[in-house]
Amino acid sequence: MSKLGTLGHRLHRGEVSYDFVGKRKIWYSISILVTIVAIVGLVVNGLKESIDFSGGAVFNTPKTSMSVSDVQDKISGDTGGRSATVQKLGNGSMRIQVADLSTDQSKKVQQEIAKDLNIPTSKIDAEIVGPSWGKEITHKALEGLIIFLVLVVIYLAIAFEWRMAVAALVALLHDLTITVGVYAIVGFEVSPGTVIGLLTILGYSLYDTVVVFDGLKEASKDITKKNTSTYSEVANRSLNSTLVRSINTTVVALLPVAALLFIGGGILGAGMLNDIALALFVGLTAGAYSSIFIATPIVAELKEREPQMKSLRKRVLAKRVSDAAKAKARVAAGEPPVDPDDLEDAVLDGDEDDEDGAAPAVVGPRGTGSGSTASSGRPTRNQPANRGSRGRNRPSGKRR
């Protein structure tokens, strides 16, 4: 754990980094492949709607020692010619769902189930759900989803820029597609709990994306006034600095969701928890992936197409070629490379002399200067009387 913490600090400080933006084609390929699998699963299997959407009846039995398979065998053929979904609840009772039943048909099925399971009819609770209610939920959910996406695009376009809004929208659609595809492949029923889970993961996914975008906006401020880094490099450093935070946030959110899915739904048999937990678990995982591997690389790719960013890239690359050539020439001439500490001291010496009203000293490589001459005839570098006092004149107040 200590090694992971150290790695996180080094990532945040920029001491180590991974080229997420430079390898974006790999991430795009993975996302496209997973999305295709999800779409194929959706087309082939389709979504299994619960009776909340299709309409039907739900029968709840008292606590019983029978297994799910035993109940299915006993009631087989007595459900009005329709398939029944049997689920054991945490208190030991059975929940039997039969789709597309009218009120009169549900009463007959209730009596048949009571006879098959040797339970008094009055002990079986029957609930009739009309398909119109499910259609209304679907309609309202789609309205809420569309309004949410529109508001997200408008907010990001105003708070950041339209390129980030486009990237965030692509990431959200990516997460929704994968989550719905997993539902189709696994065969879980789509219930109102599923809708709640889908709408919830949009907020989590957007949160991770906005955190990365906020750091990128701050890091890329006045980037065109410098010739040190391209936009893609700044985006990659910003992504690495927020990487640990994004991972920690996702892991902390996934822990209770995993408990709901595998313990609450799998062991205790809580039906509604399965629907909500699966949507959250898949959506949170996909959201963490898309905010790191999809959203930021898309922004960098769109920004690099701007004329000013193209010009910046040319200047940065030209400067690096020039610096490399100068360094190679110094080595060929037998001159020592310029020490960065000497350059910093030279600037500081000049600043101090300017404050005192004296002319700044011209400082060359380490061990040379024009302030005084040694007995050997070689120029020596002027040293301040108290080098330790230099740190007090710095804005940070730190001593070197």
Q: Which of 76, 109, 129 is the last residue of a domain?
A: 129
pLDDT value, residue 38: 92
Contact 294, 171 (CB under 8 A): yes
Note whether residue 245 is domain-resident.
yes
Q: Is the same domain home to 115 and 73? A: yes
Q: Is the same domain home to 257 and 376? A: no
State the virtual CA torsion across 64, 67, 71, 76 in degrees, nearest 10.
Answer: 180
CA distance 352 to 345: 10
Can you read off the two tokens belonging to residue 94?
């059975």
CA 224 vs CA 221, 303, 320, 333: distances in Å: 8, 12, 16, 34
Q: Is the same domain home to 110 and 227? A: no
Instruction: Classify strands 94-99 and 84-88 as parallel, antiparallel or unpaired.
Output: antiparallel
CATH number at residue 93: 3.30.460.30
Note whether residue 328 is domain-resident.
no
Residue 62: pLDDT band (50, 70, 90) is: confident
pLDDT value, residue 39: 93
As to burial, measured by CB atoms within 10 angstroms (0-12 exposed, 13-18 middle, 19+ buried), residue 13 is exposed
Structure confidence by residue, pLDDT tens digits, 111-128:
888 888 888 888 888 887
Note whether residue 291 is domain-resident.
yes
Q: Which of 93, 110, 129 is the last residue of a domain?
A: 129
Q: Is the same domain home to 20 and 116? A: no
Note whether residue 400 is domain-resident.
no
Instruction: Classify strands 56-60 and 125-129 as parallel, antiparallel or unpaired.
Output: antiparallel
Which is higher by pLDDT, 39 or 247?
Answer: 39
Note whether residue 97 is domain-resident.
yes
* Least confident residue range of 3-17, 76-90, 105-119, 251-265: 3-17
Which amino acid, one-letter code, is at 357? G
CA distance 329 to 228: 21
Contact 31, 290 (CB under 8 A): yes
Q: Is the same domain home to 273 and 182? A: yes
Query: Closest Cα partner for 191 from 43, 51, 42, 46?
Result: 51
Q: Which of 36-40, 146-150, 201-205, 235-239 has the highest average model confidence (pLDDT)? A: 36-40
Q: Is the same domain home to 215 and 97? A: no
Average pLDDT value for residue range 363-372: 42
Residue 345: pLDDT band (50, 70, 90) is: very low
Q: Is the same domain home to 210 and 88? A: no
Residue with tokens 């006034």: 225
Number of domains composing the chain: 3
**DSSP assigned state of 360:** P
CATH number at residue 39: 1.20.1640.10
pLDDT value, residue 14: 53
Range of the domain at 74: 56-129
Which amino acid, one-letter code, is at 211? V
What SS3 state is found at 128?
Answer: strand
Q: Is the same domain home to 240 and 367? A: no
Q: Is the same domain home to 142 and 267? A: yes
CA distance 288 to 171: 10
Q: Is the same domain home to 154 and 107? A: no
Q: For the chain, how are helix, strand and coil distributed in percent, rounded to 5?
A: 65, 10, 25
Q: Which of 26-30, 135-139, 205-209 has the highest average model confidence (pLDDT)? A: 26-30
pLDDT value, residue 298: 93
**DSSP assigned state of 82:** S
Q: Is the same domain home to 156 and 242? A: yes
Give the torsion sign (CA, 157, 159, 160, 164): negative
DSSP characters over 132-159:
HHHHHHHHHHHHHHHHHHHHHHHHHHHH
Which segments of 291-377 does DSSP mark as H helices, in order?
296-303, 307-332, 340-356
Can you read off the two tokens belonging to residue 248?
């920690």
What spatial distance separates the first Cα and last Cα of the chain, rounded to whole Å?
32
pLDDT value, residue 28: 93
Over 80: is that where the pLDDT of 389 sits? no
Query: Closest Cα partner for 126 from 100, 86, 98?
Result: 98
Residue 396: pLDDT band (50, 70, 90) is: very low
Q: Which of 129, 144, 177 is the last residue of a domain?
A: 129
Note whether residue 394 is domain-resident.
no
pLDDT value, residue 262: 75
Residue 333: φ, ψ to 5°? -80, 0
Q: Is the same domain home to 40 and 69? A: no
Contact 184, 45 (CB under 8 A): yes
State the virtual CA torsion across 393, 398, 399, 400 in degrees, nearest 10.
Answer: -110
Residues in the chain: 400
Note whether residue 335 is domain-resident.
no
For residue 48, the surrounding DSSP H or E stretch is: strand 48-49
Q: Output the average pLDDT for the chain.
A: 76
Q: Which of 166-175, 183-192, 324-333, 358-367 has the highest average model confidence (pLDDT)? A: 166-175
Residue 202: pLDDT band (50, 70, 90) is: confident
Structure confidence by residue, pLDDT tens digits, 28-49:
999 999 999 999 999 998 887 7
Note whether residue 201 is domain-resident.
yes
Contacts of 177 (CB under 8 A, 6+ apart): 35, 38, 39
Radius of gyration of the chain (CA): 33
Over 50: is that where the pLDDT of 354 sits? no
